[in-house]
Structure 1
Amino acid sequence: MNFAKHTNQKVFRLIILTVFVILVWISFRVYPAFFQKMYVLLLHGDVRGSVHFIRSYGPYSMIVSFLLIVFINTVAVLPNIFILAANGVIFGVVEGTIISWLAESVGVILSFILMRYFFHDVAHSVIIRSNALKRIDEFSGKQGFRVMLVARCIPYVPSGLITALGAVSSITLADYALATFIGKLPSAWIEVTLGHDLLSYQDHVMRLTLLIFLSIALYYFLARKKKQQ
């Protein structure tokens, strides 16, 4: 019974992974120029180039930006801070924040599901063999929501790293998703607004200064909490 259930789970996982790989492959085959161009822009951190590229899709630019951020956060390879900054320039701070917040949240939740579903068993076996790692796993399980909420609030923290840590911990998917949706909102707002204001800093000196100090204060708070624990 258990063997059959385990076999069915492995087959189901293989099917999901195969479908995901096929979808990614089809996307690359159908729109190779799109991915090549965005790879170059992200690799060089070209905000103005990203703005021009996304704007070139006209009425579909919002959809393109949303799907692009979802994809980047799902694969957790390339940074998306330049796309968030571009969103601030293209759509304004309010709409740019909403698009970036929703797209990032969806992307990291999908990434969490993939990481936990395919790699959690291996990570869990490592945790069991280490007392220190086991304590970390128990901590993340008991206070996982609060830990994830604080981590997601901090701007410019590597999203893939936080997702991976959450995937191998005991936090539930529901707690992870809720903490992500809540925590990603302030971090997305800071990243979008900073990107917007940096390209027109003459008009937003005061807000830009306040946001920089706010970001520093958040990092200080995180470092202090880590030291206390």
Structure 2
Amino acid sequence: MYEMDFTHDTIELFHTYKHLAVLLSIAFNIVISILGVVPSVFLTAANLAVFGFAQGMWISFLGESIGAILAFLLYRKGLSSLQDRKGFSHPKIQRLLHATKSESFLLTLSLRLMPFVPSGLVTFIASIGKTTLMIFATASSLGKIPAILIEGFSVNEMMNVTTTGKLLMALFAVTGFVLLLKRLR
């Protein structure tokens, strides 16, 4: 419910400040990327509602890509001392921490393509590892393309409450219910 209110408020803000709406959207995406744990779906919904599907998708992609790059730079500067810690024991994380250039490109790209891997986690791990800014920016942005398209299509279908949108909502509800049952057991 909170996301719906936030989406509505964001849409109103974009309409109020039409001449700044694109910059505001990109700025919001940058903040979301730096925070690393806030979902961007509400902002994608606002972008689609205000700018239309194609332009809204482009603005969301641009904001998420710029946000990931800036988050990478901030994390790299502020958290570089964490790279020596052993708390990152998962094999894929260890591989990304110590990857060569080509390996870090492929790992970052593949992790971006996985829908359930938090974007902030990928950025964080890459930033404390040996991944260069250029490799991260390229792999991260390429990996965001399918994720943004899937998110945008899903949001668009739900906003328009088409048959596909209703099926997606039902699928999300059933998935959430199953996950909740598993967690309770």
Could you say which TM-score interval applies, normalised by the shorter chain? 0.7 to 0.9
Shift of 1:179: 0.5
Structure 2 unaligned regions, length at least 5: 172-185
Shift of 1:97: 0.8
Match of 1:125 among 69, 81, 84: 84
| Counterpart in the other structure of 1:82 | 42
- Percent identical pairs in the alignment equals 27
Shift of 1:185: 1.6
Provide the rounded CA distance (Å) in 2 between the counterparts of 1:52 and 1:141: 44
Matches within 5 A, 1:25-104: 44-46=2-4, 47-104=7-64
Shift of 1:180: 1.4
Matches within 5 A, 1:1-229: 44-46=2-4, 47-121=7-81, 123-127=82-86, 137-139=97-99, 143-155=103-115, 157-202=117-162, 205-206=163-164
CA RMSD of aligned residues (A): 3.2
Shift of 1:90: 1.4
Say if 1:206 and 1:80 are closer, same or farther in 2 by CA, change over 3 A: closer
Say if 1:50 and 1:134 are closer, same or farther in 2 by CA, change over 3 A: closer
Aligned AA (1:63)? L
Shift of 1:147: 1.3
Provide the rounded CA distance (Å) in 1 between the counterparts of 2:36 and 2:157: 26
Shift of 1:95: 0.5
Aligned AA (2:84)? S
Aligned AA (2:60)? S
Say if 1:67 and 1:143 are closer, same or farther in 2 by CA, change over 3 A: same
Aligned residues: 167
Taking structure 1 as the reference length, what is the TM-score of the superposition?
0.62
Q: Quick check: 2:37–2:118 contact (8 Å CA) kept in 1?
A: no
Shift of 1:92: 1.4
